[in-house]
Structure 1
């Protein structure tokens, strides 16, 4: 740990020195991206090592590093730098999604499908119900709902409940990879969060359509947001199927420098997705599912081939996510954010227990699985951004409250999940399985 602390101090001194030579008004676009990427990568890796020495998730170290170095605290990584790193984020999301899809074999999951559907459905239903109710009861304390009718407050509360119910495949996969976990518990949790987040996207489309009908979209086109979201959803899935075919062809006919080819494809996906309004997460998730379930290529083997690149990718991705957390916004909504985070945790833990009973989950698994549902990250943040974009007046303020709760879940959820994985007895099994082949 001492070595990691010293390296982190050196990196901070170097970035401070580099920044001191630049005028204050410099935006750092372009070259700033390279500076930010190098600093974030080195500093985040050392921060992860420091947190790991205290038996905390490396992921939490990455987040805290980004938050402290970001615009809210030290401003080593400026807002323009965060924007410049969007392409890197797209690649990271693509890698996470491709790995998640490659790990989900429907044939292998069939015995646990009832558990996955039961836990996911009940947890999401209770989360949406509890969070929406909490938002409605707190509406008198929320200035942006002042003057709204009861029905309008109900619609806003329902939309907020759907957004805050999102789970996090990115955090789940990152922690499974970090702990080297493999087995029925890890597979069940991954299946729950992936399928639940797909369901949340569809629920958001419905809630968004209702809110558009009641309030009208920013551009005045009622229902336009939901239609746009559905095209975005199914267009991304179609693009993912094409991507899966390309990867399958390459892996069967060439199969050389696989990791390099995959990363090239992911960069292309991130760039094309931004221009064509497609989601890299859905595209790469679909491609991973296609490879694992519709071809004779083992998605898990592909994941293992590119696993060596996962840690630096996760480090940059979560550090940039941490840099995007704004303390000035969080301070204004901290009381509401804490209440919503607690209500969400209660709903998900209770929903998981009811779902596990309905799905006849083995008793030994019931103490672990609920903790896999608590974390949040990219999907929830993305839905908050859409909320602020689509609804003038209340959308931006509702988004700020939700982002405050997401910030809490983003920091606490991974700690609880990592502890649960270590207690499950599945930590370290992935290395053992890989070594036996």
Structure 2
């Protein structure tokens, strides 16, 4: 730990000195972005080591490192640099999604599919109802709802409830990988989170269509947003299946420099997804599911092969996410954000227990599973961005309020989940399973 603190201090001193020679904003083609990437990578890895020695998630260390170094605090990494590093985000999301899909074997999950479906559906339904109700009751404290009719407030509250109910496959997989967890509890939680988030995407499509019909969109037209979202979803699924075929062919026929090839696929998904309005997370998730469940290739083995190479990308990804946590936004909506975060956590825990009872989940598993639903990250942030983009007047302010709650869940959720996994007895099993093979 002492060594990590000293290395982090040296990196901070060097970046502070180097930043003084750079303009405030820099572009991807300049030296600023390269400097930012190097600093974020080194500082995040050392911060992760420090947090791990304190028995906290490395992921939380990455987030805090980005937040402190970002525009909200010391501004070592400027807003322009954060934007330039979004490319790393796309690759990291692809790797996370591919790994998540590769870990999910429908054959292994079959005995737990009842638990996954019951916990996921009940917890998400209760979360949407409770968060929407809280937003409606707090509407008098939300300036963007001033002057709205009761029905309009209901529609806005419902849309906000759907967005804030999103879970986080990215954080879940990152914590599972960090703790080396393997077993029925980890697999059940991962299945719940992924399937629940797929349900949230479709539910958001419905809520978005309702809000379009009531308010209209920035671009006009009430149905365009829904159609665009459907193309986005099913187009991503189709492309993901094709990517699965490409990966299967490469792994069977060539099988050289596998990590590099996978990184290239994820980079292609990130770049093409941006231009074709497809979702890199969904594409890579489907590709991983295809490999694990429709071919003779073991997705879990692929995940193990690229795990060590993925760590630096994950460190930068979550550090950049931390740099995007703006204190000036959070402090304006802090009270409402805290209330919504608390309501969400309570609703998800209650929903999880009801779902586990219906799904006949073993008693010990019930003590661990609810903690896997608290974290939030990319999906919720992406839905907030869509909300701000689609609805003039109230969309941007509603998204700001929701992002405050997401920030809280982003920081607290990983800590709770990691501690729960350490109590589960499954931490460290992945290495033992890999050694046995």
TM-score of the two chains, using structure 2 as the length reference: 0.99
**How much has 1:68 moved relative to structure 2?**
0.6
- Pairing 1:427–2:431 present: no
Do the aligned residues in 2 keep the contact of 1:30 with 1:84 (CA within 8 Å)? no
Tell me what 1:297 maps to.
297
- The aligned runs of 1:12-411 (5 Å cut-off) are 12-24=12-24, 26-31=25-30, 32-411=32-411
Q: Is the 2:26–2:33 contact (alpha carbons within 8 Å) kept by the matching residues of 1?
A: no
What's the CA shift for 1:169? 0.3
Distance 1:266 1:22 in 2: 31
Q: Which stretch shows the higher mean deviation, 33-42 or 124-133?
A: 33-42
CA distance in 1, matches of 2:168, 2:19: 34
Which residue number corresponds to residue 3 of structure 1?
3
Separation (CA, whole Å) in 1 of partners of 2:98 and 2:243: 10
| 1:310 Cα deviation after fit | 2.2
The correspondence of residues 411-422 of structure 1 with structure 2, limited to 5 A, is: 411-422=411-422
Q: How many Å apart are 1:36 and its aligned residue?
A: 1.1
Unaligned runs of 5+ in 1: none
Residues 171, 414 of structure 2: 8 Å contact kept: yes
How far does residue 28 in structure 1 lie from its aligned partner after superposition?
Answer: 4.0
Q: Please give the secondary structure, in 1, of the residue aligned with 2:426.
A: coil
CA distance in 1, matches of 2:72, 2:228: 33
- Flag structure 2 segments of 5+ consecutive residues without an equivalent: none
Question: Deviation above 6 Å: which 4+ runs of structure 1?
Answer: none
CA deviations over 1:218-265 (Å, ceiling 9, x no partner): 011112111111100111111101100000000111111111111111
C-alpha distance in structure 2 between counterparts of 1:280 and 1:294, whole Å = 20
After superposition, the Cα gap between the structure-2 partners of 1:74 and 1:28, relative to the gap in structure 1 and judged at 3 Å, is farther
Offset at residue 30 of structure 1 (A): 2.2
Question: What is the CA distance between 1:144 and its match in structure 2?
Answer: 0.5
8 Å Cα contact 1:233/1:279 also seen in 2: yes
CA-CA distance at 1:83 after TM superposition? 1.1
8 Å CA contact 1:123, 1:351 repeated in 2: yes
Shift of 1:202: 0.3
**1:82-124 Cα distance to aligned partner (Å, 9 max, x none):** 1111111100000000000000001110000000000000000
Whole-angstrom CA distance in 2 between matches of 1:259 and 1:411: 30
- The one-character-per-residue Cα deviations of 1:121-170 (angstroms, maximum 9, x if unpaired) are 00000000000000000001111000000000000000000000000000
Counterparts in 2 of 1:313 and 1:23: CA distance versus 1, 3 Å: closer
Q: Shift in Å at residue 309 of structure 1?
A: 1.4
For the residues of structure 1 that align with 2:345 and 2:269, how far apart are their CA atoms?
34
Once the two structures are TM-superposed, the CA of residue 23 in structure 1 deviates from its matched residue by 3.5
1:74 and 1:22 map into 2 onto residues whose CA distance is: 15
Offset from partner CA, 1:43-79 (integer Å, 9 cap, x none): 0000001111111100000000000111111111111
User: Following the alignment from structure 2 to structure 1, what is the Cα–Cα distance between the partners of residues 115 and 204?
Assistant: 24
Aligned residues: 436
Deviations 1:259-308 (A, max 9, x none): 11111111111111111111110000000000000111110011111011
Normalised by the size of structure 1, how large is the TM-score?
Answer: 0.99
The answer (yes or no) to whether the contact 1:70–1:324 under 8 Å persists in 2 is yes
8 A Cα contact 2:27 2:84, kept in partner: no
d(CA) in 2 for partners of 1:269, 1:405: 29
CA contact (8 A) 1:63 1:320 kept: yes
Using the TM superposition, name which of 397-406 and 27-36 deviates more. 27-36
